[in-house]
């Protein structure tokens, strides 16, 4: 609509979820589609096996698709290093519904390169 210079009915929506929230939301919405079992059945909001069934059920206007480095989020539980030499740390947080986690990069292969 924007490209046709028409006024949209709302602001376009794209939402990303941590794996725990995605699992809870799937249950609440009754989304029973398949998850990528190679990733332990976890929802990766950055691509990496995401089937986008949850995003489609919510009527999102855009799907977040990534390749390579961006798929390193939620690669595995705990701290790890991806194939690019980037270190990741799993950060736990508490919610009224239980413990969740998200990932943060903690190191990169060029950190000592001067």
pTM, whole model, 2 decimals?
Answer: 0.59
- DSSP count for the chain of H helices, then E strands: 2, 3
Task: Provide the token pair at 81.
Answer: 């290093």
Q: How many residues does the chain have?
A: 114
Alpha helices in the chain (DSSP H): 19-29, 53-57
Q: What is the pLDDT of residues 69-105, one digit of tens each?
A: 555 566 567 788 887 888 888 888 888 888 888 888 8
CA dist 48 and 93 (Å) reads 23
C-alpha separations of 73 from 14, 61, 94, 97 in Å: 18, 22, 19, 22
């Amino acid at each position: 609509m924007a490209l046709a210079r028409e006024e949209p009915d709302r602001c376009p929506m794209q939402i990303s979820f941590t794996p725990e929230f995605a699992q809870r939301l799937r249950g609440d919405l009754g989304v029973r589609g398949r998850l990528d079992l190679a990733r332990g059945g976890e929802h990766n909001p950055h691509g990496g096996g995401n089937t986008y069934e949850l995003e489609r059920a919510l009527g999102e206007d855009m799907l977040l698709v990534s390749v390579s480095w961006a798929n390193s989020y939620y690669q595995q539980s705990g701290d790890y290093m991806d194939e690019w030499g980037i270190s990741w740390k799993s950060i736990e947080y508490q919610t009224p519904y239980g413990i969740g986690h998200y990932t943060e990069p903690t190191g990169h292969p060029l950190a000592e390169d001067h």
